[in-house]
Amino acid sequence: MNVNSTSAGNGGEGTPARESGRPRVRPVTPRASIDSALPDAGDEIAPEKRARVWPLALATLVVVGLLAASLFIGVYDITDGDLGAEMMWITRVPRTVALMLAGAAMAASGLVMQMLTQNRFVDATTSGTTEWASLGLLLTAIVAPSVGLVGRMVVSSLFAFIGAMAFMLILRRIVIRSTLVVPLIGIMLGAVISALTTFLAVQFNLLQMVGTWFMGSFTSVVRGRYEVLWIVAIVTLLVFLLADRITVAGLGREVATSVGMRYETILIAGTALVAVAAGVTTVVVGFLPFLGLVVPNVVATLRGDNVRSNLPWVCLGGIALVTVCDIIGRTIRMPFEIPVSMVLGMVGAVVFITILMRGRSRA
């Protein structure tokens, strides 16, 4: 009799529910699936949800317009005959593709970090991940200077993974009484690694090279030097494939394990994706501060916490933000360029402070 009363298909009624601690999570039975734990699961086919496709299409058109503008903004006149067309394919197209790939990957990486740490103030730059990537890049230049771009990318991603996992382990071993403690730990960890990197750079006369990495810019992106960035496109695709599992992992270890998911595996896989994105981006264009922090927070504020439904918006937002900042950097002091990281840092800092103040007013 007890078996019949708790069989699958009764929607969980009459079965003791497991408390998740999150108000939007539906009760989970011992036989529940991952889909049942997702926020707003089961509502995707509602007619009103289908009607919401057109804002995404409109946003896509806006981003395409920004990318098209990026192709035609610059000092050199690309309408100047055959030479102009050649310059278009040598510099403008690679730069625009790099903006698209790096913007989408770093914004998606920020979303993954925030879900895995359950903290909205964490991304690759506030967790020290990019500083670890820079340290790996410097050690490669010191120990094996003849290593090519792919080799430096691998070492940089490996160090970024080590740094991200160290950050996760530190979070597990301390009692977190405030959400602001988490990014503070990451920033302090990044400051220590940055100081070590600078010290080594001074010792081996590589300070100028390190300064280039810290100052993210798309100025040097040309044909033949940006193609490795397609790796972060694969990373973004994998984030889409793991979106539901990352969402459930973001609900906490208890909820994730209750639906039969291997929490540790998703944690390591998500951290590895973030590390690869940070490592490859650092090698090609340098740091892009606050990109993974600002965009996911704005999207989550408007749409909620479902990773799968938010990912297209996060990717579009990342592309739009980094493209706008790059265009500003190119035009504000033409014919000179301001690195995109400077513009992005100012914009990101303002949004970051706004998010902190809004959180304080709600407390």
Q: Which residues of the chain have pLDDT under 50?
A: 1-30, 41-45
Give dist(CA 11, CA 5) in Å, integer.
11
Residue 208: its pLDDT value, please? 78
Q: Which domains does the chain have, with CATH numbers?
A: 54-63+80-360 (1.10.3470.10)
Read off the pLDDT of residues 333-345 as tens digits, 9 standing for 90 and up: 877 888 888 888 8
Chain CA centroid to CA 331, Å: 27
Element (H, E) at 37: helix 34-37
d(CA 79, CA 219) in angstroms, rounded, equals: 20
**pLDDT (0 to 100) of residue 173:** 80
- Cβ contact 31:8 at 8 Å: yes
Tell me what pLDDT residue 297 has. Answer: 86
Buried/exposed 21-45: b ≥16 CB within 10 Å, e otherwise: eeeebbbbbeebebebbbbebeeee
DSSP string of 66-130, one letter each residue: HHHHHHH-SSS-TTSHHHHHHHIIIIIHHHHHHHHHHHHHHHHHHHHHHHHHT-TT--TTTTTHH
Q: Quote the pLDDT of residue 220.
A: 80
pLDDT of residue 289: 84
Q: Which residue has the tokens 């940055």?
A: 194
Task: Say which amino acid occupies 63.
Answer: V
Rounded Cα distance between 203 and 70, Å, is 39
Those residues whose C-beta lies under 8 Å from the C-beta of residue 51, and which sit 6 or more positions away, are none
The per-residue pLDDT for 35 is 61
Check residue 17 and give its pLDDT.
Answer: 41
Token pair, residue 306, equals 């479902």
User: How much is the pLDDT for 4?
Assistant: 41
Total-model pTM: 0.79
